[in-house]
Amino acid sequence: MEKVNLQEKLTLFSDHWNPRIVGELNGQHVKLAKFKGEFVWHHHDHEDELFMVVQGQFRMEFRDKTVELREGEFLIVPRGVEHRPVAQEEVSVLLFEPAGTVNTGNREDSNRTRLNLERL
Task: Tell me the whole-structure pTM to 2 decimals.
Answer: 0.91
24 within domain boundaries: yes
Whether the pLDDT of residue 73 is over 90: the answer is: yes
110 within domain boundaries: no
Q: What is the mean pLDDT of the chain?
A: 93
CB count, 10 Å around CB of 71? 12
116 within domain boundaries: no
117 within domain boundaries: no
113 within domain boundaries: no
44 within domain boundaries: yes
Measure CA 51 to chain center.
6
CATH at 21: 2.60.120.10
Residue 74 lies in domain? 6-98
56 within domain boundaries: yes
Whether the pLDDT of residue 110 is over 80: the answer is: no
Question: Mean pLDDT throughout 1-19?
Answer: 95
At 12-59, the pLDDT tens digits run 999 999 999 999 999 999 999 999 999 999 999 999 999 999 999 999
**What is the count of structural domains for the chain?**
1
112 within domain boundaries: no
Torsion sign, CA atoms 44, 27, 13, 7: positive
For residue 3, what is the DSSP state?
A: -
